[in-house]
Amino acid sequence: MSQVTGFLEGERDYGNLKGDTGPLVYPAGFLYIYSALQHVTRGQVYPAQILFGLLYIVNLAIVLSIYVKTSVVPWWALSLLALSKRVHSIFVLRLFNDCFATTFLHAALFFLLKQKWHLGLIIFSAAVSVKMNVLLYAPALLILMLQAMDVFGVISALAGAALVQILLGLPFLLTHPVAYLSKAFNLGRVFIHFWSVNFKFVPEPTFISREFAVALLVAHLGLLTVFAHYRWCRHEGGLPSLLRLKIAELSSFSMTRFYCTSSTTKLLRTEYIATTMFVGNFIGIVCARSLHYQFYSWYFYSLPYLLWKTPFPTLLRLTLFVVVELCWNVYPSNVYSSLLLLVVHLVVLGGLWTASLGNPYADDPNSRLTAKKKQP
């Protein structure tokens, strides 16, 4: 609330927008949402908690619809989605903006499962405008777009997402563009070691070092590349084959076709879309330099899904779920809880690597379907 006060008073220079917790580091969507909250609640906590309670229910309903549509998790295990003490605290007690970003992301995924790529990208961009962590899903989403759409569809969907960012940031881009872009989309922030839940066992000098950040970035990009080549794009013959196909499409792309024809799509299986998105984000979670307590909401709702995609027995899946929850409820985190959390993350990632693969396409991958065709 203190960070949006300056905005409500007319300040448009992001460098001057600050609060009790420091400078404003979130994109413009955050400002609009919390300005509205301040107007509705008059800055009082209890009315805001009621609104966040409703947001929690809406988000849970969207997530349940995703789980039901994919049919990966048994019905009884859906109850796990409502059993996290830490997530309840993040939503209804702490009122973090992560809650809005997560809800928008799940809404975007809901429409992606319905093959509504352009609408899904617009909502995805709205989620990014609240908090940049949503970009962890971006590499997997790009792979899905390349598989599902031709070049025209990919370009137009990305243009729609970019337009959302431009329109939301327009008041700041027109006045102080450098300050807005450098503050709202700062990828070089160094988090405080004390709040780290996942790498507390790493000595602080190493934790804040550039070498540690680069090592994690290399690991992140490497894991994404390996998963993309050997798993997500295996049906196309690997990542280079998919990229060559799109480059060939781009070379034959013409402005006449851009204006005169509509995009065609291939129908992807809903389970494949959800799995690729969740795994792509989870890889980012594993390689994140610092996970603060509110960051648990970034992947908690995908955790039961990911566990049931592994070949592990049910008892081990439940054990891993409980251990992750326990690690996130240790305050302050310590060497043992953070190390245990990393080990569990790596075990789950290993299980996802060995999981069985299926055809990503719901029909013949060579057949073209119009965007209006419904999924059987």
pLDDT of the residue at 257: 54
Mean pLDDT of 92-107: 96
Supply 234's token pair.
Answer: 């295996």
- Total-model pTM: 0.93
| The pLDDT of residue 361 is above 80 | yes
pLDDT of the residue at 190: 74
What are the pLDDT digits (tens) for 271-308? Answer: 999 999 999 999 999 999 999 999 999 999 999 999 99
Instruction: Give the chain's mean pLDDT.
Output: 91
What are the pLDDT digits (tens) for 179-226? Answer: 999 988 887 777 888 999 999 999 999 999 999 999 999 999 999 999
| The pLDDT of residue 363 is above 80 | no
Mean pLDDT of 51-56: 98
